[in-house]
């Protein structure tokens, strides 16, 4: 089974093709928007008959943040990130190498949220969204 850290780094590498965005394979304590971070998601065990209890896939949460300092500019950037295709599409970037440089059998973006407001400790709110990625091993 692939290493969790290696999978996070490979997903971040796919995302690094989006220009002008800080990308991290790990949670950022103080993200500077625009930024994207990769985190492990929930795991369901024993999903196949006779399985050893190990999951046959990993789920990851990818969060993107943009500054919420302007009414339109930030939303326009986030709209580009939410799109299913295009140079700033998070989905397209994640799925650009579905084997993660041969570290998995396949991956797929299964879900994305709409706009969300995040309020980091003591800082102004930032605008963002989340994507769920299923990585098959």
Nearest to 60 by CA among 90, 84, 30: 90
Tens-place pLDDT, residues 65-92: 999 877 788 999 999 999 999 999 999 9
- Whether domain 4-136 has CATH 3.40.50: the reply is no
Cα end-to-end distance, the chain, whole Å: 7
Tens-place pLDDT, residues 8-62: 999 999 999 999 999 999 999 888 899 999 999 987 777 666 555 566 889 999 9
- Domain boundaries of the chain, sorted by first residue: 4-136
Choose between 57 and 130: higher pLDDT: 130
Reading the block at residue 60, the tokens are: 């990851």
- The predicted model scores a pTM of 0.90
């Amino acid at each position: 089974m692939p290493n969790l850290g290696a999978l996070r780094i490979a997903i971040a590498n796919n995302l690094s093709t989006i220009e002008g965005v800080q990308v991290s394979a790990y949670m950022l304590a103080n993200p500077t928007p625009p930024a994207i971070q990769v985190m492990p998601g929930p795991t369901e065990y024993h999903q196949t008959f006779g399985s050893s209890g190990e999951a046959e896939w990993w789920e990851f949460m990818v969060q993107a943040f943009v500054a919420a300092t302007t009414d339109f500019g930030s939303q326009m950037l986030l709209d580009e990130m939410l799109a299913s295709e295009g140079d700033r599409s998070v989905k397209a970037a994640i799925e650009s190498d579905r084997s993660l440089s041969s570290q998995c059998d396949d991956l797929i973006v299964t879900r994305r949220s709409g706009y969300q407001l995040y309020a980091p400790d003591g800082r102004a709110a930032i605008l963002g969204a989340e994507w769920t990625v299923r990585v098959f091993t």
